[in-house]
Structure 1
Amino acid sequence: MHVQMRRLHFLYKRNLCETRRRCYWDYQYIQRSKIPTMHFQASLPRLPIPKLELTCERYLAAQKPLLIDEAYRKTEANVNHFKDNVGKHLQKLLRDFDKQNKHTSYISEFWFDNYLRDRKPIPINYNPMLVMNNDEREQYNTQLIRAANLVISSLRFYKSLHSNWLEPEVYHLDPQKSDTEMFRNICAMLPQSLSWYGAYLFKAYPLDMSQYPNLFNSTRIPETDIDRLVKGKGRHITVQHKGHIYAFTALSKENQILPPEQILARLKYILEDDIPKNTFPIGVLTTLERNKWATVRHELAENGNQATLKLIDTALFNICLDDEYVNDDPYAIIRNFLHSDGENRWFDKSFSLQVSKDGVAAVNFEHSWGDGVAVLRYLQDIYKDSIENPVIHSETRPYDEDINNIIRLDMNLSDRLKVHIEDAKREYRLFYSSLDFDYLIMDRLGKNLCKKQAVSPDAIVQLGIQVAYHKMQGKFVPTYESCSTAAFKHGRTETVRSCTMATKAFTLAINAQQKPPLNELKMMIAECSRTHSQLTREAAMGQGFDRHLYVLKKFAEKTNMTCNIFDDPDYAYLNRIILSTSTLTSPVIYAGGFGPVVRDGLGVGYTIKDDQLRILVTCYPPYHSASKGIDALRQSFEELTAILDTN
């Protein structure tokens, strides 16, 4: 009897320990992948350098719908001369450079440089926003509970990434065969040097994960002429509220996430701090032109704020707790999360979590360190985790918190620095007030309708954008759609030039007074879809022309070579993007957007759902009106829907 009791007691203690162990792992990590996060990096294929002849062909194809015949013939002559002469030499320089840098891609160094040299302010011009859907359970949508759960999910994501346990990003061509335990078991056992090839046999394509570490402890530092990216090792996060900046430790000395009640208590203290709104919020300085910000930041450091700035720079991430209610108003949501007034922001941080007074949450991210692929993965994972596994509930009681664990980062400000802050407020107010935006939600037009007609949903949206712009302006302009090249080591993005001869032909036909027969229009739509899908495939496989020509131009500048193709005004025209577009499709995203690339341009972000299309348009009057753009888009998509919705 005693033996049996001792055994039962032993089993109870073992099960209790196992339960505690599982609870520990469940709290500390968002994932514990069988395949290590960076397992595929060593064997990822390198970004290919396209053949010069193909790049020249693709460049001319992109120019053709934009140029009159005489201008096109001149451009064609320049391209042919380039291809047979200087281009060959530049291509050799590029190939030699690529051979000497096998650890990376040929675009990586130049693309970082491209971002970091630009002197324009980064909010609106560069920083996009992604707004998450609300939790359907109202009790989880209070500002404090939503923020606390998202912070803890972010820390769990960080811990999994830091421990190499975050599931690698893989594109599954046939998920039923490859998104399986067998796939994970086999790939995990393969040496890193062979792992990509093992995945390929399953028709699965691992994606580059090199940008992911830059999500955390990362900041862009303004410097004269060219900024720099820094990585820190902080165990703290920064919190902005009422224009003040706070910092508190979120990870223990052993790198363990602090108990949820403790994190809740620290956020609660900050939200309940009865200090008045900061009259001189230094966050607004991150909205300045970069050279000016570099000078002011140096003054800040010289005025005894170096240690405080370092705390901001090295924080794991930043969270902005806003005093604004957005009240489910799309205009208030876009305005608050895309730009706000800048006083409760630090736009230089790799990303900031933003939570409104009524619990709507978003991410605004700095773009130089990486692209939307990494941020979207982070956002999707923390959203799902905070919804499915919330550790903070309405009945959760915060610890009695020692306020010494929370630092308010009060700055030493001279009169001159205060003037800089006031000037930054005024300049930024003029800037963001000049931005116009509007949005459109189209029911019926989505993936299902396009699938029914065997056309690409993305191609249809891009076609609608071309038709709408022509309705407004009566012309065709350079159009950019971002496409990830993450299938390759250190891939960044490539451009899909979605204004084509096929879209031009359809646009002229549908916008004419005498429209062609319905069957002819459907055939033209099918051709637009085929052309766009081909361009997208080429871009994703590193076979676009934009990045290739960009780097060749950089080598020409380095070696002082004169190139007719790059001196041609039509090359500059093609690269002055009037229509900047990007798809932000994800089931967790409520809205996403960004500003125009140029003052007379349009920024068009869209999400394609099964039976719905959502579009956000940004622009600067008097060049364009967002409401007129939305009206033109609505008309275009109604016409396309009517054509597609017929047998």
Structure 2
Amino acid sequence: MPIRRQFSESAVSRSGGKEKLFQYQDELPALPVPELEESTSLYLKSLKPLYGKNLQDFNKTASIVSDFIKPGGQGELLQQRLLEVAAEKGQRNWLAKWWDNYAYLEYRDPVSPFVSYFYSHKGLTNKKIDSNQLMKASLIIKKTVEFMESIENETLAPEVNKNTPFCMESFKWMFNNCRVPNDTRDCNIKFTPLENRFLIVIYNDQFYKVYHHDLNGNPINESQIYQQLLNVVTSSSSAISYDPIGILTSSNRDVWTKDYKELTKSPLNVKNLREIHASSFVLCLDNNSPVSVKEKSRNCWHGNGTNRWFDKPVQFFVASNGASGFLGEHSKMDGTPTLRMNDWLIKQLNIYETSVFESPLTSDVSQINDIEILNWDITPATKLAIEKATVEFNKTVSSLDLEVWQYFGLGKNLIKKFKISPDAFIQMLIQLGFYKMTGVCKPTYESASTRKFFGGRTETCRSVSSESLRFVEGWQDPSVTKKVKLQLFREAIKSHLNYISRASNGLGCDRHFFGLKQMLEPNEPVHDFFKDPMFSYSSHWFLSTSQLSSNEFSGYGWAPVVPDGFGLAYMITEDFLHVNISCFKSNGFGYTSEKLYFYLTEAATELRTLLLEEQNELSAKL
């Protein structure tokens, strides 16, 4: 299934009592190792539409695959090694030991804008709170601390879908955790929450240690938080002005590692870095006022680069006009845990009235530690690094194109009336829109969640199939009747659902092949299976897609994962569709987000029109 979850905040366990966050962890199954023949068969099936009518080259690849999986061949040998790893005592997820490192911690491009994902919050119903930066920020802190404590005391209900529990392990990494740069491979440092009852507030590029619990260990109230933030804002004008240290976290990871080592030559800087790493989370008070959906998305995605610390897994921001959002560092968890938190958070904020802030200036803060400004030792080398990082950040951000596509009058409710899976619908909509723009189909990735397994994260769903190719070709062929067009569409939907079901059950081919490659010993000959050009091309994700849906968001997205592709983050609400379209301005093909925006609209309109006509015809026959 796509990455989407259903859960209850007050769930009852199957034994009748209150559920605990980690109570189902021990019963979660281990991630399976797929059968070699099944994975290679699935792989070949996914290649057919990419080869098109070039049967000669397809047969060559098929021959390479046959040799790889033959009895006594390298495929069989690697499969046996992988099965032995999976069967090791205490091993419940053979993939986890490599995936976090390969996919995230060893990746050297900047985490923002290339890896981190963002949510842009919808405005609150109470406009006074929504437009007041410090009020809104105070409530975000208050409710985030509540969510954090529900993880600590395990009162947060575990996620269960159709009686199947999901792994909650990643929730442990949400707070008091930070990614830290390191040579060749970064690491994560986790701190004890009870010993670090504070967050980091960034304002005017300066860092402030702000406590969210009092001296007795109790969470402080909304007015007290407001007073703390007011102290931050009023103290900023008299704070010692330093260069924006946060911009260093926007650099290439090897560059950031070098700059980090320079910083840590100073004991004062070491102390400051420890405070940032150990903090519960980060909240940024921005001095801008984004208004449009696109402006808000840009601010959430990367901002100006300076008023941020991109290595934290939980980072909120509130602009001067109250526009708020979230940015998540990706290395230890995917989007579903933070989706849950942000969705719940905005629902909670909508309950508040301004009366909670009636007397903020008289709020008792005598039992709360004072805010602390983190002053830095800035050497000439660090000053130069900040200047270079700023130039590189602005260059990178300006190279990226962004459009936010929203299509009203077509959402989950109407799509379900057509008896079609909403997620599969938008996947085929994307295929059709891209084909209209380019006249070809290219490798497409959709995230499939494997959290039904212990330590599960994601598997690849390859969205391009022979059925999807026939659908887009037939749809664009004026000689094909409307009835046949819709028949081809439904066949493509069915094929997609079959693949994503397999992927969600841990039976996709991409993670399996990754595991097999890890089994290669140093200096061991590599089979042509891994060297075949189609092996790399078929996982060059020209279209990288994923769904995370919330009625509380006005935006969600990330960057393209390849220089010549698109990042397509989408939400499906009750009555409209939302796709965040990102790409590089210079991509070698002349693609633009604006062009894809146009063709998605055309494709959605045509699909909606024909499906409504079909529905009306069926109703007329009843």
Alignment match of 1:637 (pick from 578, 584, 604): 604
Q: How many corresponding residue pairs? A: 585
Please state if 1:503 is matched with 2:478.
no
What does residue 127 of structure 1 align with?
A: 116
Deviation at 1:601, TM superposition (A): 0.7
SS at match of 2:276: helix
Structure 1 residues 501-528: Cα deviation after superposition (integer angstroms, max 9, x where no partner): 111011111223x241111111111111
Aligned residue runs from structure 1 range 289-328, under 5 A: 289-304=252-267, 305-327=269-291
Structure 2 counterpart of 1:588:
552
SS of 2:613's partner is coil
Match of 1:617, SS?
strand
Counterpart AA for 1:140: I
User: What is the one-letter code of the residue matched to 1:609?
Assistant: T
**Pair 1:621 & 2:585 matched:** yes
Deviations 1:419-442 (A, max 9, x none): 110110001000001110112211
Distance 1:495 1:308 in 2: 39
The change in CA–CA distance for 1:453 and 1:268 in structure 2 (over 3 A counts) is same
Partner of 1:83: 69
Q: CA deviation at 1:400?
A: 5.7
Cα shift at 1:362: 1.1
Q: Is the 8 A contact 1:265 1:400 kept in 2?
A: no
Q: Give the superposition deviation at 1:409.
A: 0.7
Partner in structure 1 of residue 15 of structure 2: none
Is contact 1:139-1:394 (8 Å) kept? no
1:458 aligns with 2:412: no
The C-alpha deviation readout for 1:352-406, integer Å capped at 9, x for no partner, is 0111111122110000111111111111222222223679734242426579711
Q: Which runs of 5+ in 1 are unaligned?
A: 1-29, 174-203
1:350, distance to aligned residue in structure 2 (A):
1.2
Deviation at 1:254?
Answer: 5.3
CA distance in 2, matches of 1:235, 1:31: 26
Taking the TM superposition and a 5 Å limit, the aligned residue runs for 1:103-118 are 103-114=91-102, 115-118=104-107
2:587 aligned with 1:598 = no
Q: In structure 2, do the counterparts of structure 1 residues 636 and 42 end up closer, same or farther at CA, with 3 Å as the change threshold?
A: same
1:265 corresponding residue in structure 2: 227
In structure 2, which of residues 26, 37, 46 is the aligned counterpart of residue 62 of structure 1?
46
Letter of the structure 2 residue corresponding to residue 136 of structure 1: T
**Secondary structure of the residue that 2:265 maps to in structure 1?**
helix
Answer yes or no: is 1:45 the counterpart of 2:33: no
Cα 1:414/1:392, change in 2 over 3 Å = farther
Distance 2:284 2:108 in 1: 25
The 3-state SS of whatever aligns with 1:64 is helix
| Partner residue of 2:539 out of 575, 586, 604 | 575
Name the counterpart of 2:380: 415
- CA-to-partner distance for each residue in 1:143-192, whole Å, 9 max, x for gaps? 11111111111101111110111111111x3xxxxxxxxxxxxxxxxxxx
TM-score computed with the length of structure 2 as normaliser: 0.91
- Whichever residue aligns with residue 577 of structure 1, its letter is W
* Equivalent runs, 1:402-551 vs 2, <5 Å: 405-512=370-477, 514-551=478-515
Partners in 1 of 2:101 and 2:86 — Cα distance? 17
2:197 maps to which residue?
235
- C-alpha separation in 2, matches of 1:606 and 1:428: 26
Contact in 1 for aligned 2:129/2:354 (Cα 8 Å): no
Deviations for 1:601-628, whole angstroms, at most 9, x for unmatched residues?
Answer: 1001111112211111000113221111
Matches within 5 A, 1:351-430: 351-388=314-351, 393-398=356-361, 399=363, 401=365, 405-430=370-395
Give the residue type in structure 2 aligned to 1:230.
Answer: I
Residue 252 of structure 1: CA displacement? 3.9
Instruction: Give the 3 Å change call, closer, same or farther, for CA 645–276 of structure 1 in structure 2.
Output: farther
For the residue of structure 2 that corresponds to 1:134, the secondary structure is coil
Within the candidate set 131, 136, 139, 2:125 is matched to 136
Q: 2:144 maps to which residue?
A: 154
Structure-2 change in CA distance of 1:87 and 1:406 (3 Å): same
Per-residue CA deviation, residues 78-126 of structure 1 (Å, 9 max, x unaligned), is 1111112111111111111111153431111111111111111110210
Q: Distance in 1 between matches of 2:244 and 2:463?
A: 42
Q: Contact 1:107–1:492 (CA<8 Å) still a contact in 2?
A: no
Which of residues 332, 346, 350 in structure 1 aligns to 2:295? 332
1: distance between equivalents of 2:354 and 2:218? Answer: 16
For 1:256 and 1:452, how far apart are their aligned partners in 2? 50
Distance 2:565 2:486 in 1: 30
Give the secondary structure class of the aligned counterpart of 1:582.
strand
The answer to whether the 8 A contact 1:239-1:319 is kept is yes
1:446-485 alpha-carbon deviations (Å, 9 max, x no partner): 2222212211111121111112222222221110011111
Q: In 2 relative to 1, CA 296–541 (structure 1 residues): closer, same or farther, beyond 3 Å?
A: same
Matched, 1:167 2:167: no
- State the Cα deviation string for residues 220-265 of structure 1 (Å, max 9, x = none): 0000100001101221100011111101221245542123322221
Quickly say closer, same or farther: Cα 1:247–1:506, change in 2 above 3 A.
Answer: same
CA contact (8 A) 1:31 1:160 kept: no
In 1: Cα distance, 2:576 partner to 2:106 partner: 39
Indicate how the Cα distance of structure 1 residues 279 and 644 shifts in structure 2: closer, same or farther if over 3 A, else same: farther
TM-score by length of 1: 0.87
Equivalent residues of 1:449, 1:644 under 8 A apart:
no
Q: Does 1:74 align with 2:60?
A: yes
Task: Give the equivalent residue in structure 1 for 2:6.
Answer: none
Q: How far 1:303 sits from its partner (Å)?
A: 2.6
Contact 2:282 2:314 in 1 (8 A): yes
- Aligned with 1:159: secondary structure? helix
Quick one: distance in 2 between partners of 1:216 and 1:274? 26
CA distance in 1, matches of 2:512, 2:445: 15
In 1, Cα distance between the equivalents of 2:238 and 2:57?
A: 61
Note closer, same or farther for the CA distance 1:516–1:396 as it changes in structure 2 (3 Å cut): farther
What corresponds to 1:200 in structure 2?
A: none
In the alignment, structure 2 segments of 5+ residues that lack a partner are: 1-8, 13-17, 615-622
Amino acid at match of 1:119: R
Partner Cα separation in structure 1 for residue 401 and residue 369 of structure 2: 44
Contact 2:117/2:558 (CA < 8 Å) preserved in 1? Answer: yes
Q: 1:131 Cα shift?
A: 1.3
CA contact 2:403–2:581 (8 Å) conserved in 1: yes
Letter matched to residue 547 of structure 2: T
Q: Match for 1:235: what amino acid?
A: R
Are residues 299 and 35 of structure 1, via their aligned partners in 2, closer, same or farther at CA, if it must alter by over 3 Å? same
Counterpart secondary structure, 1:335:
helix
Q: 1:257 to 1:501 in 2, by over 3 A?
A: same
Q: Which amino acid aligns with 2:134?
A: L
Q: Which of 577, 599, 613 is the matching residue for 1:646?
A: 613
Separation in 1, partners of 2:89, 2:560: 34
2:208 to 246, 255, 263: 246
- Please report how far the alpha carbon of residue 325 of structure 1 lies from its aligned counterpart in structure 2 after TM superposition: 0.5
- Judge conservation of contact 1:219–1:348 (CA < 8 Å) in 2: yes
Identity fraction in percent: 29
**Secondary structure class of the residue paired with 2:49:** coil
Tell me how far apart the structure 1 counterparts of residues 504 and 135 of structure 2 sit (CA, whole Å): 40
2:5 is aligned to none
Aligned partner letter, 1:47: L
1:392 to 1:156, Cα distance in 2 relative to 1, 3 A: farther
Whether the 8 Å contact between 1:556 and 1:563 is mirrored in structure 2 is no
Give, in whole Å, the separation in 2 of the partners of 1:240 and 1:605.
28
